[in-house]
């Protein structure tokens, strides 16, 4: 971890919800992808708030090596929310206390539908444990006393919408700053997002609600806002394909690709991550034959040469 260094001015997450023109635009926590360089990139293109990838709280607490591996930041990496997977209140509170000097809030993952996570009591397992979620939020809120430090929760829907609403209400009473709702149940993958369920949650809590799921353009942001009345929108796959999405671009502009190259190299992004982001960004721009060539490149030098030769992009 790196310290904040010199003073850098930014709006805290709660300030964004209070003063920002709605909806607040948020980059989702994505395993392997929403790391420092990408967070820095999307902020250049209209993103108001960025999340880290999900971090396992237990290993984060116990191991300095794990902390240094999982969490890297800098003074410009703000506002920043660190997302944790935890299965008990103490772990989440301990992790929040460690991270508080370097971030603006923590988020409890109650949405990951992967089998391994649910078997460990993480992610979507927690949406059926509303009292545990309430305790986790309350203890974390009590541990970090800063008024400007947010404690949020990201969930998926339960099959019973009323039970989902009750979960959110308990989190609110415990002190949750806002709730992000992925509009599918843990068992759903490609089914349409349930905007009516998100609207129902928004109507039954007083804290901000953020909508997540199938938000892939600025038009989607406005449509979801109009349908549900939510306060924020969170995008994952849409941001990978087009990090400039929130700035109104339909596809990734060349300026964004160049910015990614410069940022990624400046912070020492591993090649696989560097290349994979470019594969996502250029997926719609490259013909299939060119995609095969580009996707098979094996070094940073090869990627730089390709982009310089074919798109006149150089750094």
Question: Domain with 160 in it: what CATH number?
Answer: 3.20.20.70
DSSP H helical segments within 111-230, as ranges?
115-119, 130-143, 161-174, 195-204, 218-228
The predicted model scores a pTM of 0.94
Q: How do 150-156 and 105-110 pair as beta strands?
A: parallel
- 164 and 298 in a single domain? The answer is no
Question: Based on the domain organization, do 80 and 111 belong to the same domain?
Answer: yes
Q: Are residues 75 and 112 in the same domain?
A: yes
pLDDT by residue (tens digit) across 237-269? 999 999 999 999 999 999 999 999 999 999 999
Same-domain status, 225 and 187: yes
Q: In sequence order, which residues have a C-beta less than 8 Å from that of residue 37 and are 6 or more positions away?
A: 260, 263, 264, 266, 267, 269
In a domain, 1, yes or no: no
Q: Has residue 7 been placed in a domain?
A: no
In a shared domain, residues 304 and 159: no
> Are 91 and 143 within one domain?
yes
Whether 5 maps to a domain, the answer reads no
Residues 268 and 194 in one domain: no
Res 9: pLDDT? 62
- What's the number of domains the chain is made of? 2
Do 69 and 142 belong to one domain? yes
Q: What pLDDT was estimated at residue 134?
A: 98
Residue 4 located in a structural domain: no
* In a shared domain, residues 301 and 211: no
| End residue of a domain, out of 197, 215, 247 | 247
- How do 80-85 and 232-235 pair as beta strands? unpaired
* 268 and 236 part of one domain: no
Answer yes or no: do 124 and 20 share one domain.
yes
Among 200, 231, 247, give the residue marking a domain's end. 247
Q: Does some domain include residue 3?
A: no
pLDDT of residue 1: 47
Indicate whether 136 and 112 sit together in one domain: yes
Question: What residues act catalytically?
Answer: 112
Taking CA 280 as the corner, what is the angle to CA 278 and CA 284, rounded to the nearest 5 degrees? 110
Q: Which of 247, 270, 293 is the last residue of a domain?
A: 247
Q: Which residues pair with 82 in a beta bridge?
A: 106
Taking 50 as the pLDDT cut, the residues of the chain under it are 1-8
pLDDT at position 22: 82
Tokens describing residue 132? 């545990």
Domain that holds residue 30: 13-247
What is the structure's pLDDT at 5? 38
């Amino acid at each position: 971890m790196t310290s904040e260094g010199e003073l850098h001015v930014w709006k805290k997450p709660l300030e964004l919800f209070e003063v920002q023109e709605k909806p607040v635009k948020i980059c989702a926590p994505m395993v392997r992808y929403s790391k420092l360089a990408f967070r820095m990139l999307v902020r250049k293109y209209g993103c108001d708030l960025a999340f880290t990838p999900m971090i396992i709280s237990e290993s984060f607490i116990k191991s300095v090596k794990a902390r240094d591996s999982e969490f890297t930041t800098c003074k410009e990496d703000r506002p920043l929310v660190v997302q944790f997977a935890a299965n008990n209140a103490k772990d989440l509170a301990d992790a929040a206390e460690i991270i508080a000097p370097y971030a603006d809030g923590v988020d409890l993952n109650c949405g990951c539908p992967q089998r391994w996570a649910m078997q460990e009591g993480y992610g979507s397992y927690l949406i059926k444990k509303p009292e545990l979620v309430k305790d986790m939020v309350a203890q974390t809120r009590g541990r970090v006393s800063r008024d400007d430090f947010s404690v949020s929760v990201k969930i998926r829907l339960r099959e019973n919408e009323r039970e989902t609403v009750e979960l959110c209400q308990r989190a609110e009473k415990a002190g949750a700053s806002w709730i992000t709702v992925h509009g599918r149940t843990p068992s759903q993958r490609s089914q349409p997002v349930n905007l009516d369920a998100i609207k129902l949650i928004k109507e039954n809590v007083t804290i901000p609600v953020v909508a997540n799921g199938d938000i892939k353009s600025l038009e989607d942001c406005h449509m979801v806002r109009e349908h549900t009345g939510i306060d924020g929108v969170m995008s994952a796959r849409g941001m990978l394909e087009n990090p400039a999405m929130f700035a109104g671009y339909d596809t990734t502009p060349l300026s964004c690709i160049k910015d990614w190259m410069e940022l990624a190299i400046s912070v020492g992004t591993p090649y696989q991550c560097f290349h994979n982001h470019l594969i996502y960004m250029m997926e719609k721009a490259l013909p299939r034959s060119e995609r095969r060539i580009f996707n098979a490149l094996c070094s940073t030098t090869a990627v730089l040469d390709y982009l310089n030769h074919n798109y006149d992009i150089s750094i």
